[in-house]
């Protein structure tokens, strides 16, 4: 078995001892929510808020391009084979991962883009993913998404809110970028103060959100998306994907870093499953929400 997979397996097994503490803390968190939360997700959008979101995502795209194209400081972390390699580097004590993936089916380009843009798309390739939804729509290519993930042993579950934007870079290349903003809302006691270590303009965008009961009650730990991006490029005989990922978990300090690191690595390795989904056979992907 590959050493990386062994490391992940051991770390996830060791997490069980910490889950009881997390579950105990969650049971004592407040659990109140508005009866009309669902109706408030698509509130009337402030024009200034939309402009701020658009500007933030333009900054996020520029930074994602830089981290995707510049090889400086990356070290190879995991090599599945010559066409699926994960690299990592440190930036101001923040980990940034990069996956270079080749899928030998150029006809799958549109379906790959659709799956990666669908907030429920990870259900197809990430076994940690639970569900996703569009929380707010600014335009067809700029939204806020909410996603839930299953934690180890089913007791440490995760959630995140992030701005998501799709960019048509050329006829044969698309970028899908996820970035945070300082989101808060009535009753959102589980939200922590967050300063993005990669995107300086992230603190400018501050949309109000109305969270689900499980989030308001502190039953889900929060994922902070520093920067996540997919660059999907169609070539003559394949589709090439460059995946950039930098995320942090808002979990108790007593949870060891190696467990968090293993979860982050596992999520990147799961993206490699796209290759099996879209190999040679043509697949028409349909949105699931």
CATH value at residue 166: 3.30.530.20
Q: Is residue 269 part of a domain?
A: yes
Q: Is residue 119 part of a domain?
A: yes
Tell me which DSSP letter residue 279 carries: S
Specify the pLDDT at position 49: 86
Q: Is residue 282 part of a domain?
A: no
Count of the separate structural domains present in the chain: 1
Specify the pLDDT at position 112: 98
Specify the pLDDT at position 40: 44
Q: Is residue 284 part of a domain?
A: no
What does the buried/exposed string (b/e) look like for 2-12 if buried means 16 or more CB atoms within 10 Å of the residue's CB? eebeeebeebb
CA–CA distance, 94 with 217 (Å, rounded to integer): 29
Q: Is residue 41 part of a domain?
A: yes
User: What is the band of 88 on the pLDDT scale with cuts at 50, 70, 90?
Assistant: very high
Q: Is residue 289 part of a domain?
A: no
**What residues are paired with 139 via a beta bridge?**
142
Domain of residue 200, residue span? 3-277
Question: Is the full-model pTM beyond 0.85?
Answer: no
Mean pLDDT of the chain: 78
> ∠ CA(166), CA(172), CA(173), 5° rounding?
40
More confident residue, 45 or 248: 248
Has residue 172 got a pLDDT over 70?
yes
Q: In the structure encoding, which two tokens stand for residue 191, read together?
A: 């939200």
Q: Is residue 286 part of a domain?
A: no
Q: Is residue 283 part of a domain?
A: no
């Amino acid at each position: 078995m590959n050493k990386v997979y062994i490391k992940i397996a051991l770390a996830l097994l060791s997490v069980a001892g910490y889950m009881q503490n997390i579950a105990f803390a969650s049971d004592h968190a407040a659990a109140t929510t508005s009866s009309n939360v669902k109706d408030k997700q698509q509130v009337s959008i402030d024009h200034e808020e939309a402009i701020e979101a658009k500007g933030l995502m333009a900054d996020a795209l520029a930074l994602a391009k830089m981290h995707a194209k510049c090889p400086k400081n990356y070290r190879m972390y995991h090599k599945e084979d010559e066409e699926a390699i994960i690299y990592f580097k440190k930036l101001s004590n923040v980990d940034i991962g990069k996956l270079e993936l080749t899928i030998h089916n150029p006809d799958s380009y549109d379906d790959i883009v659709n799956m990666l843009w669908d907030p429920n798309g990870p259900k197809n390739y990430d076994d940690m993913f639970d569900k996703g939804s569009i929380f707010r729509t600014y335009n067809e290519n700029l939204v806020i998404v909410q996603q839930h993930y299953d934690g180890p042993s089913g007791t440490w579950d995760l959630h995140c809110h992030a701005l998501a934007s799709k960019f048509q870079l050329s006829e044969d290349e698309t970028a899908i970028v996820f970035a945070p903003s300082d989101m808060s809302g009535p009753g959102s006691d589980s939200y922590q103060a967050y300063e993005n270590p990669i995107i300086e303009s992230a603190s400018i965008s501050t949309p109000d959100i109305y969270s689900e009961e499980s989030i308001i009650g502190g039953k889900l730990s929060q994922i902070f998306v520093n920067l996540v991006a997919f660059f999907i490029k169609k070539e003559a005989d394949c589709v090439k994907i460059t995946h950039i990922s930098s995320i942090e978990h808002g979990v108790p300090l007593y949870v060891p870093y190696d467990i968090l690191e293993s979860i982050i690595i596992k999520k990147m390795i799961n993206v490699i499953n796209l290759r099996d989904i879209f190999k040679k056979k043509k697949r028409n992907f349909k949105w699931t929400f």
